[in-house]
Structure 1
Amino acid sequence: MLTLFHAPGACSLASCIALEETGAEFEVTNVSFADGEQHKADYLRLNPKGRVPALVVEEKATESGILTETPAILYYIAQRFPDAKLAPHGNDFALAQMQSFNSFLCSTVHVAHAHKLRGARWANEQNSLDDMRAKVPENMSALFTMIEETYLGQPWVLGEQYSISDTYLYTIARWLEGDGVDITTFPHVNAHFKRMEDRPAVQRALRH
């Protein structure tokens, strides 16, 4: 059995969409950030990082435990359910390209977004926090310009093959409006976003 610990609107949506795409049975447990559930003892015993997603895997005697970090969970889902074709299995270079893109989203784009509300991770002084917050629209615009011009194939991140990279990009693109960035300034990203919203798996995931 798979159980995904998820917070609506958070990066865990990418994993939720990927699970929905597989057609596998899984459960979703919502973690309320508003109530600070991610910092409470019960959740910290599961994920000491105090963040989402966390995926509890109880599939087999040899395959059980807890996975954290979006790129790792997405890769596990793609590998665990190869029939869903969420990764370019059999093409080592394309697989590495997918992982490169997901790493970029995780280590660079997500971090740029986090400077808006999570600045206390990096600074204490209010003027520093204000500067980081003010820089978010510029940084996110620059990063999505790079995605628009360099990374995004057509119709999907990897070109013709839909993959876990698409679930991840869509999830982060959902943050652009709140970051003060108009997604329509990026025609390819905007078209990708609309294609994603038409997918039944995305619609199901958004209901969790």
Structure 2
Amino acid sequence: MTPILFYGVPSGCSFGSIVALEWLARPYRLCRIEMPGVVTSDTYKHINPIAETPSLMKADGRVISETIAIMNHLGTLGIDRRLAFPQGTHDFDRWNQMLAFLNTTFFGSFSPLWYAYEHELEPEAKKALTAYGRARVQKAHARLEALLGDRPWLLGEHRTLVDAYFIGIARWTEYHHVVDRRAFPNLQRLFEKLEADPAVKFAHAIEQQRPAVSAGGFEGEVRLEEAVAHPSHHQVAAVRITQHP
């Protein structure tokens, strides 16, 4: 079975995983998961019990969730392309450290804004939460601006999967109308370079359901019901059930 990435819309952080798969140029398929409706459905919970995206179903039907775990899995497939590094090396430690920063500090700074967007709140509570979120996003951008410096990419002279993850989160400033990235020239430069990348353009087109031209190994989209019903997934799920105490 071709691996399947379950990506969330609108504007899910799984955007970066689509870019990563394109850069790997290995066969893969996509499954569109609408949020918050489909992602919390019983059908999707067969794939990911905690009802979050992204999830990656491997060729053997086993599922990986959580972006850091998915990126580490994909990274092992991209070492020859210098998209990641062998575990145990200094370069891997730097790669993993930057991935963790993006997943905690950078991603986490937007959490108050997403909560205010997705929940009904009293006007004053929403105003306070939005202001708190703006301050966190501003601080996270300042920290990442300093980490990037004048390097072409987040880790140096060539792109890696951490750059793919970055672009999926960085676009949220426009979604929430928060932070003028031009105040952070290093990040703005990186953002513009990534936005011009064919894989990033492809991921945007996929999300927006426009004609999308893959430069990688994209083999089409699959419906959620089809992915859940795949024999390989059922076989793995059955093994898990029978082994549960």
TM-score computed with the length of structure 2 as normaliser: 0.75
The structure with higher relative contact order (CA 8 Å, sep 6+) is: 2
Rounded Cα–Cα distance in structure 1 between residues aligned with 2:97 and 2:150: 14
CA distance in 1, matches of 2:32, 2:149: 31
Per the alignment, residue 92 of structure 1 pairs with 89
Distance 1:107 1:179 in 2: 21
Kept in 1: contact 2:56–2:65 (CA 8 A): yes
In structure 2, the partner of 1:22 is 24
Partner Cα separation in structure 2 for residue 192 and residue 67 of structure 1: 29
Cα deviation, residue 71, structure 1:
1.3
| Higher alpha-carbon Rg | 2
Residue 192 (structure 2) pairs with residue 194 (structure 1)? yes
C-alpha separation in 1, matches of 2:151 and 2:82: 17
With over 3 angstroms needed to count, the CA separation of the structure-2 counterparts of 1:154 and 1:120, relative to structure 1, is closer
When structure 1 is superposed on structure 2, of 123-132 and 156-165 the one drifting more is 123-132
Q: Does 2:3 align with 1:2?
A: yes
Once the two structures are TM-superposed, the CA of residue 130 in structure 1 deviates from its matched residue by 4.3
Q: Separation in 1 of the partners of 2:73 and 2:183?
A: 33
Unpaired runs of 5+ residues, structure 1, are none
Contact preservation (8 Å) 1:115, 1:136: yes
* Aligned counterparts of 2:97 and 2:135: Cα–Cα separation in 1: 23
Partner of 1:65: 62
Whether 1:171 aligns to 2:168 is: yes
Number of equivalences: 202
Shift of 1:138: 1.3
Deviation at 1:161, TM superposition (A): 2.3
Matches of 2:24 and 2:17, distance apart in 1? 11
Q: Measure the CA separation in 1 of the matches of 2:136 and 2:162.
A: 21
* Distance in 1 of aligned mates of 2:204 and 2:165: 14
Stretches of structure 2 lacking an aligned partner (at least 5 in a row): 207-245
Distance in 1 between the 2:69 and 2:150 partners? 22
